[in-house]
């Protein structure tokens, strides 16, 4: 190659051509350094003939490349995936590429970095901040900045601790190899049903060909054990495996379980990694040395040179949908990556998405079912609690039948779990004297009271203030009242009902790190907790044999608002949380509190009739031409200036294409009309499957200009609206 077309790591730029100087040789995928204005910039050499629309200039006007980065070239299937993702989700290729090169520091090559950890010595002068930092840091080590974040103190406090000798320097090599998992480390006897499922997956891994599989197994059926066998096969073939998990909080128990089966933990990849771990992981992955990688959705774009298997666990989870930057759905991109790589993709879930089931019906995905729990454990008994007949006392939320059941479980020394998908103490706080309500100054949302931290916080932008004693408006003391329940308020109610019980609140506020999640699992498994009160975080993956009762505080909560997926999400969440009950030898029961017992989704839950729910929901989607039949795309226009946002949205609306099979609704104010100080307007595109939505939108938007302050983003296949 004498000239090279690069994608540079700058989302504002399209592909650019450079000259390859004499003596330098590059190939597609190579990571290089190129001049951009006065600065050097990282870029990746793309294939000859790619991006044919790029304007070219003569060789003599091209600037020369500056150098080649010492890292393996990005493999061709990954380059195809980056192109596909950029094209499908209407994102700049550079923004997608950034996810593949997630660790720019890794490109500097392997080296030794200096981190710090506690030395055991105490500082001469102990301040409250220093004490807090040391307590929170515990056994961990990291860079100054990382320790400051863990300790929730300034960098200066950490530097002070280093100076005083309380933290000592350690050299860390980022080229340390990861120990390889051993496929034969521990043997697990599978049931006949599990073995049949595992055999089918093993066969597909052997074929080294693309297959999409929906592994549909009820909670506790052993889906993990089954796909572990497929991973063992991939290891025997020296292929890499990627396991995507929905939540960072879930990784720690998973890593332990994996290590028990394979002798060593897999390589973890998520946003919480410290820099040296990230660098070490990226290098090992890109060289094919990291054999099994477990990560959040961002792990999907890493440069695996020999990917042989992709697992998406809890594939129905909404957190696989990225809502910022490149708005992609990791479940869908995972299938695409499998297609590009030529390897099987397994979507494991007890409650597969309607879209996934539909692919099975169309014959595109294969279905493997595990209809029974492992070891003869029964699925829990479902009990409906009609809140209109059996209401809780005033100002309380746990109805008498559920209180009664909790009492019995507590007396038997077993555990119960209450589920309410609302963080904090109360969703709305108002002044009973003047009616003042706490509203976020940056968003069109109420501030949520958190009593544990004595704050009012916005769940959209994070803005928080200390909870005042008096109303800020009329200054009346003690006039603030909490309206409605959050998990903290339910926890208070539990403490009042069962003062002797040991409780644990599980939300992203209390389980913000893998270490905290691991401690929670240890506490519950060790019997140190009687009653768990949690948000959707507790619906996931946990296996507690002594947990025999689940109470759903408000099954109707997610059903209000005209969200397309409200019924499906309610069904999935409640099925998943119900699946936490009775996983061991003791049978479980689930109490579902509702005022909407006649709603089809609640009825299906109470009857345990999953097939009925899917049939009804699919039928109504078909009538509405909603996904998976038709498709949507949302165009969001935002600006700090309300008038400008509206005006731009109007102009975009005026220029809307007229096309058979495609409709444009709006512009209208977006459901969250102000977010982080930006006013948001939305246009919704609704189209038949056969319509080339992306090309139409690209074309449409390219005809319109907007001010630099305005942001126009497209969400293809938006998750909720």
Residues that bind Zn ion (CB under 5 A): 440, 442-443, 458, 460-461, 463
Query: Residue 43 pairs with which residues in a beta bridge?
Result: 8, 32
Q: Is 86 helix (H, G, I), strand (E, B) or coil?
A: helix
Q: Is residue 713 a contact residue for ligand ADP (CB under 6 A)?
A: no
Contacts of 605 (CB under 8 A, 6+ apart): 382, 555, 571, 574, 575, 578, 592, 613
Residue among 328, 321, 332 at smallest CA distance from 364: 332
What binding mask, one character per residue, do residues 490-509 give for ligand ADP by CB under 6 A, x or -?
A: --------------------
Residue 557 binds which entry of Zn ion, ligand ADP, none, CB below 5-8 Å type-dependent: none
Q: Which two tokens stand for residue 347?
A: 């979507």
Interaction residues for ligand ADP, span 178-207 (CB under 6 A): 188-191, 194
* Interface with ligand ADP (CB under 6 A), residue from 73, 77, 183, 217: 217
Interaction residues for ligand ADP, span 534-563 (CB under 6 A): 543
Residue 75 binds which entry of ligand ADP, Zn ion, none, CB below 5-8 Å type-dependent: none
Judged by CB, which is closer to Zn ion: 117, or 460?
A: 460
Listed ranges 46-54, 69-77, 220-228, 705-713: which one lies at the site for ligand ADP (CB under 6 A): 220-228
Judged by CB, which is closer to ligand ADP: 195, or 513?
A: 195
Is 471 marked within a binding site?
yes
Is 443 marked within a binding site?
yes
Residue 222 binds which entry of Zn ion, ligand ADP, none, CB below 5-8 Å type-dependent: ligand ADP
Measured in residues, the chain has a length of: 721
Judged by CB, which is closer to ligand ADP: 189, or 411?
A: 189
> CA angle at residue 682 from 676 to 685, to 5 degrees?
145
Judged by CB, which is closer to ligand ADP: 291, or 540?
A: 540
Judged by CB, which is closer to ligand ADP: 187, or 394?
A: 187
Provide the phi-psi class of 462: left if phi over 0, else alpha when psi is between -120 and 50, else beta: left
Residue 458 binds which entry of ligand ADP, Zn ion, none, CB below 5-8 Å type-dependent: Zn ion
Minimum distance of ligand ADP from residue 201's CB (angstroms): 14
Residue among 247, 253, 201 at smallest CA distance from 536: 247
Are 365 and 233 in contact, with CB atoms under 8 Å apart? Answer: no
Are 566 and 605 in contact, with CB atoms under 8 Å apart? Answer: no
For residues 520, 331, 336, 265, the Cα torsion angle rounded to the nearest 10 degrees is 10
Judged by CB, which is closer to ligand ADP: 169, or 260?
A: 260
Judged by CB, which is closer to ligand ADP: 227, or 328?
A: 227
Residue among 602, 627, 573 at smallest CA distance from 318: 573
Are 77 and 84 in contact, with CB atoms under 8 Å apart? Answer: no
Residue 191 binds which entry of Zn ion, ligand ADP, none, CB below 5-8 Å type-dependent: ligand ADP
Residue 519 binds which entry of ligand ADP, Zn ion, none, CB below 5-8 Å type-dependent: none
Residue 225 binds which entry of ligand ADP, Zn ion, none, CB below 5-8 Å type-dependent: ligand ADP
Is 483 marked within a binding site?
no
Q: Is residue 306 a contact residue for ligand ADP (CB under 6 A)?
A: no
What separation in angstroms does the CA of 133 have from each of 37, 118, 123, 138, 516? 43, 10, 12, 9, 16
DSSP 594-654: ES-TTSHHHHHHHHT-HHHHHHHHHHHHHHHT-TTTSEEEEEEEEESSHHHHHHHHHHHHH
Listed ranges 9-17, 215-223, 439-447, 707-715: which one lies at the site for ligand ADP (CB under 6 A): 215-223
Is 474 marked within a binding site?
yes
Listed ranges 24-32, 38-46, 218-226, 509-517: which one lies at the site for ligand ADP (CB under 6 A): 218-226
Residue 461 binds which entry of ligand ADP, Zn ion, none, CB below 5-8 Å type-dependent: Zn ion
Are 120 and 359 in contact, with CB atoms under 8 Å apart? Answer: no
Are 280 and 175 in contact, with CB atoms under 8 Å apart? Answer: yes
- Quote the CA–CA distance of 308 and 341 in Å, as a whole number: 8
- Quote the CA–CA distance of 648 and 640 in Å, as a whole number: 13
* Interface with ligand ADP (CB under 6 A), residue from 85, 141, 219, 286: 219
* DSSP 8-state secondary structure symbol assigned to residue 296: S
Residue among 550, 480, 509, 543 at smallest CA distance from 422: 509
Residue 221 binds which entry of Zn ion, ligand ADP, none, CB below 5-8 Å type-dependent: ligand ADP
* Interface with ligand ADP (CB under 6 A), residue from 225, 414, 715, 717: 225
Residue 460 binds which entry of ligand ADP, Zn ion, none, CB below 5-8 Å type-dependent: Zn ion
Helix H or strand E segment including 393:
none
- Quote the CA–CA distance of 334 and 347 in Å, as a whole number: 9
* Interface with ligand ADP (CB under 6 A), residue from 118, 174, 224, 507: 224
Judged by CB, which is closer to ligand ADP: 197, or 471?
A: 197
* DSSP 8-state secondary structure symbol assigned to residue 477: B
- What is the CB neighbour count within 10 angstroms for residue 8? 21
Listed ranges 223-231, 406-414, 447-455, 474-482: which one lies at the site for ligand ADP (CB under 6 A): 223-231
Residue 442 binds which entry of Zn ion, ligand ADP, none, CB below 5-8 Å type-dependent: Zn ion
Residue among 676, 215, 182, 219 at smallest CA distance from 463: 676
Is 343 marked within a binding site?
no
Q: Is residue 221 a contact residue for ligand ADP (CB under 6 A)?
A: yes
- Quote the CA–CA distance of 584 and 406 in Å, as a whole number: 18
Minimum distance of Zn ion from residue 558's CB (angstroms): 21
Judged by CB, which is closer to ligand ADP: 345, or 385?
A: 345
Residues that bind ligand ADP (CB under 6 A): 188-191, 194, 217, 219-225, 374, 543
Q: Where is the binding site for Zn(2+), in residues?
A: 431, 434, 440, 443, 458, 461, 471, 474
């Amino acid at each position: 190659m004498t000239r090279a077309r690069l994608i540079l790591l700058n989302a504002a730029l399209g592909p650019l051509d450079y000259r390859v100087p004499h003596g330098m040789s590059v190939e597609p995928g190579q990571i290089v350094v190129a001049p951009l204005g006065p600065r050097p910039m990282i870029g990746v050499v793309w294939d000859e003939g790619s991006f044919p629309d790029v304007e070219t200039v003569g060789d003599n006007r091209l600037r020369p490349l500056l150098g080649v980065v010492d890292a393996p070239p990005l493999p061709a299937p990954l380059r195809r995936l980056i192109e596909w993702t950029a094209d499908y989700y209407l994102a700049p290729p550079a923004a997608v590429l950034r996810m593949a090169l997630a660790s720019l520091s890794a490109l500097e090559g392997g080296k030794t970095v200096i981190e710090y950890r506690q030395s055991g010595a105490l500082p001469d002068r102990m301040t409250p901040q220093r004490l807090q930092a040391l307590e929170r840091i515990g056994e961990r080590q990291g860079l100054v900045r990382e320790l400051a974040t863990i300790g929730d103190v300034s960098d200066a406090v950490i530097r002070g601790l280093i100076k005083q000798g309380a933290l000592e320097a350690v050299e860390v090599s980022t080229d340390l190899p990861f120990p390889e998992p051993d496929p034969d480390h521990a043997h697990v006897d599978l049931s006949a049903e599990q073995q049949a499922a595992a055999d089918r997956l093993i066969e597909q891994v052997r074929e080294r060909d693309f297959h999409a599989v929906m592994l549909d197994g009820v909670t506790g059926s052993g889906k993990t054990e089954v796909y572990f066998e497929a991973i063992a096969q991939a290891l025997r073939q020296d292929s890499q495996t990627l396991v995507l998990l929905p939540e960072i909080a879930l990784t720690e128990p998973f890593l332990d379980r994996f290590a028990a089966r394979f002798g060593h933990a897999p390589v973890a990849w998520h946003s919480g990694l410290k820099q040296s771990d990230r660098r070490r992981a990226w290098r090992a992955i890109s060289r094919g040395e990291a054999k099994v990688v477990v990560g959040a959705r961002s792990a999907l774009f890493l440069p695996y040179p020999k990917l042989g298997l992709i697992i998406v666990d809890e594939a129905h989870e909404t957190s696989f949908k990225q809502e910022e930057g490149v708005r992609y759905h990791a479940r869908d991109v995972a299938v695409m990556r499998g297609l590009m790589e030529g390897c099987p993709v397994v979507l494991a879930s007890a409650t597969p998405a309607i879209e996934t089931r539909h692919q099975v019906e169309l014959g595109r995905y294969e279905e493997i079912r595990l209809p029974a729990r492992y070891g003869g454990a029964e699925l829990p008994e479902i009990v409906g609690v009609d809140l209109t007949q059996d209401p809780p006392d005033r100002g309380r939320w746990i109805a008498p039948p559920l209180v009664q059941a909790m009492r019995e479980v507590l007396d038997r020394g077993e555990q119960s779990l209450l589920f309410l998908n609302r963080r904090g103490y109360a969703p709305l706080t108002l002044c009973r004297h003047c009616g003042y309500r706490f509203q976020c100054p940056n968003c069109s949302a109420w501030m949520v009271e958190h009593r544990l931290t004595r704050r009012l916080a916005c769940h959209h932008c994070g803005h928080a203030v200390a909870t005042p004693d008096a109303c800020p408006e009329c200054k009346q003391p003690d006039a603030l009242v909490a309206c409605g329940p959050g998990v903290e308020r339910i926890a208070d109610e539990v403490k009042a009902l069962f003062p002797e019980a040991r409780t644990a609140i599980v939300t992203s506020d209390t389980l913000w790190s893998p270490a905290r999640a691991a401690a929670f699992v240890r506490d519950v498994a060790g019997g140190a907790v009687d009653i768990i009160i949690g948000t959707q975080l507790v619906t996931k993956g946990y296996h507690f044999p002594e947990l025999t009762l689940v109470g759903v505080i408000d099954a109707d909560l997610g059903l209000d608002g005209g969200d397309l997926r409200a019924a499906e999400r309610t069904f999935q969440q409640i099925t998943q949380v119900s699946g936490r009950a009775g996983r061991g030898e003791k049978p479980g029961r689930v109490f579902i509190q509702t005022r909407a017992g006649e709603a089809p989704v609640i009825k299906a839950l109470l009857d345990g009739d999953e097939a009925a729910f899917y049939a009804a929901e699919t039928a109504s989607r078909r009538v509405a031409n909603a996904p998976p039949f038709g498709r949507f795309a949302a165009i969001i226009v935002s600006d700090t200036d309300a008038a400008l946002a509206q005006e731009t949205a109007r102009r975009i609306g005026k220029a809307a294409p007229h096309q058979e099979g495609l409709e444009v609704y709006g512009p209208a104010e977006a459901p969250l009309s102000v977010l982080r100080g930006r006013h948001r307007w939305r246009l919704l595109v609704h189209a038949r499957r056969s319509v080339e939505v992306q090309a139409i939108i690209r074309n449409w938007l390219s005809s319109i200009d907007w001010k630099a302050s305005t942001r126009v983003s497209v969400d293809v296949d938006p998750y909720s609206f």
